[in-house]
Amino acid sequence: MAAEVTAPPLREYPGAPQALAPGAMAASKPYVATDKMQQALGFPGELADDWQEKALGKMGELLGKYRSLKVYLDSCVHCGACADKCHYFIGTQDPLNMPVARQDLMRSVYRRHFTLPGKLFPKLVGARELTKDVLDQWYTYYNQCSECRRCSVFCPYGIDTAEITMAAKEIMDSVGYGQKYSNEIIGKVHRIGNNLGLPGPALADTLAGLEEDVKEETGADVRFPLDEKGAEVLLVTPSADFFAEPHVDSLIGYAKVFHAAGIRWTLSTHASEAGNFGLFIGSYEQLRKLALRIREAALDLGVRRIVVGECGHAWRVAYSMWNTLAGIGAGGTDPFAKALQGRLDARYKQPMHICELTWDLIERGALTFDRAANDHRVVTFHDSCNVARASRMGDAPGGQFEIPRAIIRAVANRYVEMPKGTTREATFCCGGGGGLLTDELLDLRVKGALPRMEALQEVVDRGGVNFMATICAICKAQFTKVLPYYGFKMGMVGGVHQLVSTAIRLGSK
Amino acid sequence: MTAATFIYALLLYAAAAVLAGGLAHRIYVYARTPAPLKIPTTPAPTTKGGVALRLLREVVLFESLFKSSLWTWACGWLFHAGLALVLVRHLRYFTEPVWGWVAWLQPFGAYAGFAMAAGLAGLGVRRMAVARVRYISTPSDHLMLALLLAIAVSGLAMKYVTHTDVVAVKAFCLGLLYLDWQPLPSGVLLYAHLALVALLMLVFPFSKLLHAPGVFFSPTRNQADDPREARHLSAWAARLEAHE
């Protein structure tokens, strides 16, 4: 891993444009997946002699399967609207971290091999052969994109760099040049059931321990059921919620909400992971295989509702893609979709975010809170990129911004909003999303957090904020790690349901 | 019939054929290529009507660019709006009698030529002066601006610097339309203007000018946000289910 991890200095708010630093991050790259990890997912173990031909073949295949890729590689006019919008560019100043430059790493190859001008006049249109050097550059810089889609908000054609990064990762996987962190984790889900490789008995143990802890703390018999057939709700949550800090405090919050509302719920060992790293590596097949586990668990347990815990990309996959991938949703007319949708309760959104569930209960007056219990906290909210720009909550567009904030205001008295341009659809990524939450990329992660840290500093100075709530397992893990590099306490970050957990009245105390 | 008339008639026919054929093919490819997953950039409209409005705002007002960079937006919008008016103004060369609303727009069209040139100049300055944008520019990016600017300037020069026999030009244009060729008046500016326009038409379907049809096919902009209510399944993805 990179020898030195350094945090750039916070700029005066708002930050001014910076000079370019070509090559600044050329040495940052994650470990390559071993042949075993590759083969477990059906990818070749390593680069073969004919890798170039295979990579171009895969690229041609993807151009025919994904309209996004085809249209986006054609449409960019190099206007530069996106150039200063990426948190990794802002934090590293490496020009290849400008979204347009990152796209051009693939666009140049597309032009050379798939378009007439690139075949005739490569220099004129910036076209390049797919050489080993170019492939290495792909590996370096497509592993410096967290697929957060901030650039797509500002592009006049909606070009989404995440689509191109995902295609690049799929092409690299298909020639045996995969990334260790993501591919190893996907393998663990297939083998064991979750990203952390937590087997069923260990999970049961952990949950039993949580029941005892909550009993001791509150006196209430809050249950953490596992694999209970006939439960109404299947809760699918990121496995980090089972034992990582501060994630587990939100899991306790979900359990207290179910308890207080009298909803029978269950977790599942087979579906003990909401995260779906198939998204990060751009593999439809992997996305689908992982999503099918949720379908199988729901059918097996006979639940009527499926609810998703606090996890950003998981909610993107659940909200936007589960219906497509696994028939979890509504409106399906084919037998595959109807087999599940006929058994789910049509009065509720399927799937539902835990924040939607909690907010519904609050609106119906089913939960009561002691808001003063959170008075030691001055709270701000960090919008997680996949929730903000790739999903929704509730009935109206923008519900993904309003509902978590409404919950926070219902359970805490002191709330301060971070500056405009750093929240809602313009939110900055935490710096650790998209399959980059690995130690050898720590320098990149710290630098990528810069714009969020600047915004946080602004509300710390202006409003005395000491708690940044978020609804994403990756954001929580990333901030816990990088906050200290900027002089903040790692305990400043936590979940929305951690706040709910603090304030909720359970009645039986 | 002069040699120039003959050459320009053939050139313009060829350019029009390449432009129409090339664009039609591209649009066919875009339409045929599936979008297997729901990926609208949210918050997004939840209905088809809402999506149409979003695209309209994007195409007419450049909404996303406005949020992104005011200078780029101002120059880009000035250029595109100017170009649109100038194109409308040129309809008078192809219609007899000239449509009423085209005639009404003629005086505005004259100013639009200057707006177009000013916008292009602004974009060119930005491309060279802003380090980020200079870094991502290829030679073709600069040349494309130069081509458009040369078209605008040659067009303006024909109106404000030298005299051009627009009646004869109109006869030539109508002759092209009705396959009844009429002589093209001679003039360096006119020859240059028409040759550059033909070049633009020829490169259009093979260049970044494809952003024009592309924006309508962009899944982050043209998809409705309704994945929980309706199942979205592409043909190749559905085939995976046949094996379940």
| Each residue's pLDDT expressed in tens, for chain B with a length of 244 residues | 789 999 999 999 999 999 999 999 999 999 999 999 999 999 999 999 999 999 999 999 999 999 999 999 999 999 999 999 999 999 999 999 999 999 999 988 889 999 999 999 999 999 999 999 999 999 999 999 999 999 999 999 999 999 899 999 999 999 999 999 999 999 999 999 999 999 999 999 999 999 999 999 999 999 999 999 999 999 999 998 876 6
Residue A103: the pLDDT is 98
CB atoms within 10 A of CB A200: 16
| Burial degree of A335 (CB within 10 A; 0-12, 13-18, 19+) | exposed
Per CATH, the architecture of A367-503 is what? 3-Layer(aba) Sandwich (3.40)
Within 247-286 of A, beta carbons closer than 8 Å to B belong to 284-285
Q: Mutate one of A20, A67, A352 to test the B interface: name it (highest B CB count within 10 A).
A: A67
The pLDDT assigned to B243 comes to: 62
Which range is least confidently modeled, A11-25, A307-321, B80-94, B98-112? A11-25
Query: CB–CB of A196/A188 below 8 Å?
Result: yes
End-to-end CA separation in angstroms for chain A:
50
- pLDDT, one tens digit per residue, over A464-508 is 999 999 999 999 999 999 999 999 999 999 999 999 999 999 974
> pLDDT tens digits, residue range A154-181?
999 999 999 999 999 999 999 999 999 9
Closest CB from B211, B215, B227 relative to A329: B227
A332 and B237 within 8 Å at the Cβ level: the answer is no
In a mutagenesis test of the A interface, which of B60, B132, B142 is the best target, namely the one with the most A β-carbons within 10 Å? B132
CB-based contact, A392 to chain B, within 8 Å: yes
By the 10 Å C-beta count (0-12 exposed, 13-18 middle, 19+ buried), B102 is classed as middle
Rg of chain A (C-alpha set) = 23
How many other C-beta atoms can be found within 10 angstroms of the C-beta atom of residue A384?
30
Contacts of A347 (CB under 8 A, 6+ apart): none
Cβ atoms of B66 and B73 within 8 Å: the answer is: yes
pLDDT higher than 80, residue A333: yes
Q: Which of A67, A155, A331 shows the shortest C-beta gap to B231? A: A331
pLDDT at A77 over 70: yes
Torsion angles phi and psi, residue B155, rounded to 5: -65, -45
B152 vs chain A: nearest CA distance in angstroms? Answer: 20
CB A266 within 8 A of CB A235: yes
Query: Is pLDDT at A509 greater than 60 in this prediction?
Result: no
Residue contact A154–B65, C-beta within 8 A: yes
Asked if A115 reaches chain B (Cβ–Cβ under 8 Å), the answer is yes
In the predicted model, is pLDDT for residue A18 greater than 90?
no
Q: Write the pLDDT tens digit of every residue in A450-468.
A: 999 999 999 999 999 999 9
pLDDT band at A15 (very low <50, low <70, confident <90, very high): low
Contact across the interface for B69 and A80, Cβ inside 8 Å: yes
- A13: confidence class by pLDDT, cuts 50, 70, 90: low
Picking from A104, A323, A392, the nearest residue to B136 by CB comes out as A104
CATH of domain B3-28+45-222: 1.20.950.20
Please state at what angle helix A99-114 crosses helix A161-174, rounded to 10 degrees: 60
Whether residue A324 and residue B132 make contact (CB cut-off 8 A), yes or no, is no
In single-letter form, the type of residue at position A225 comes to P
**CB of A15 closer than 8 Å to CB of A451:** yes
In A155-285, at which residue ranges do the beta strands (DSSP E only) sit? 233-236, 265-266
Nearest CA in chain A to B233: A324
**Position A363: which residue type?**
E
CA A358, A353, A235, A494 dihedral sign is: negative
Shortest Cα–Cα distance, A373 to chain B (Å): 33
Residue A1: pLDDT above 60? Answer: no
Select the residue of B130, B211, B231 nearest A327 (Cβ to Cβ).
B231
Q: How many CB pairs under 8 A join A and B?
A: 227
What average pLDDT is seen over chain A?
A: 96
> A468 φ, ψ to 5°?
-110, 105
The per-residue pLDDT for A259 is: 97
**Would you call A228 an interface residue with chain B, using a CB distance cutoff of 8 Å?**
no
CB of B136 within 8 Å of a chain A CB? The answer is yes
Q: CATH 3.40.50 in chain A, residues? A: 367-503
- Per residue in A404-429, is it b (16+ CB within 10 Å) or e — as a string? bbbbbebbbebbeebeeebbbbbbbb
User: Scanning every residue of chain B, which has its alpha carbon at the shortest distance from the alpha carbon of A388?
Assistant: B42
CB A156 within 8 A of CB A81: yes
> Looking at residue B1, what is its pLDDT?
72
A123 vs B: CB within 8 A: yes
Q: Which CATH class is domain A35-178?
A: mainly alpha
Residues of B in contact with A125 (CB under 8 A): 138-140, 207
Residues A10 and A457: their CA atoms lie apart, in Å, by 9
Enumerate the CATH 1.10.1060 domain ranges in chain A, comma separated: 35-178
Phi, psi of A97, rounded to the nearest 5 degrees: -95, 5
Chosen for mutation from A18, A71, A88, A402 (greatest number of chain B CBs closer than 10 Å) is A71
Question: Is A400 in contact with B143 (Cβ distance < 8 A)?
Answer: no
Q: Are strands A233-236 and A467-470 parallel, antiparallel or unpaired?
A: unpaired
Q: What is the pLDDT of residue B244?
A: 60
Using CB atoms, pick whichever of B38, B137, B141 lies closest to residue A321.
Answer: B38
* CB < 8 Å to B244, chain A: 336
